[in-house]
Amino acid sequence: MQRRTFLQKILYGTGVVLSSSLPFALSRFISPDVKAEPATHLRPPGALKDDSAFINACIGCGLCGEVCPPKCIQFYKREGGNKVNTPFINPEVKACTLCNKCMEVCPTASLQETPRLEIDMGISQIDRLACYPWVDRGICGACVSICPLGEKAISFKMWNQYRPIVHDACVGCGLCVEVCPHPSLPIRIVDRSKGTVMSHSL
């Protein structure tokens, strides 16, 4: 009798776990996959570089968003396809401050604790045809002032203290994007392979 009761409890517990995870699994299966703009859908710091591996590892628990001090972490919704409930950051709305809390709280391997200087969310890229200092339409420097990594990541061009130059130490947190006052957003976060200066060649 005790054995039967024990087995019944195991089966019941298994059923509860499976049924509770079913909505999450189904939401990924039935959601349409709308192509997202990479510059406004950055993975949080410490995310697995292979996005398929990240999606498979993430369980959609939402803890990263709960502990995020600036509340910059958003989540894919119905339009996310198999990415639904996985986290992303839109630096045009709210950028990452590199506090590391999301990595510390993540219960899976999707976000891995990474030293600040080794984080790779991308790299800042500047459109020099839209940035006011670069076209002599005004002075700024907000992007350089806000950078949490200082002049290692972004500084001013020598002999012109208002023209920003991005360096390889940039980790792509997006604070420069958030603070940029220009309405055309001449600075954005891109994959490192695209470089730090936007090309306008045909």
- Residues 105-129: what's their mean pLDDT? 97
Question: Where exactly are the structural domains of the chain?
Answer: 38-115, 122-194
Tokens read off for 93: 């709305």
pLDDT at 23 over 60: no
Tokens read off for 12: 């019941």
CA angle 56, 29, 106 (to 5 degrees): 30
* Residue 102: per-residue pLDDT: 98
CATH architecture of 122-194: 2-Layer Sandwich (3.30)
Structural contact between residues 59 and 142, judged by C-beta atoms closer than 8 angstroms: no
pTM of the model: 0.80
Return the CATH class of domain 38-115. alpha beta
* Alpha-carbon gap, residue 184 to 127, rounded angstroms: 10
Question: Matching CATH topology for 38-115 and 122-194?
Answer: yes
Helices (H), the chain: 2-30, 51-57, 63-67, 101-105, 142-146, 175-179
pLDDT at 152 over 80: yes
Ranges assigned E (strand) in 36-128: 73-75, 87-89, 123-126
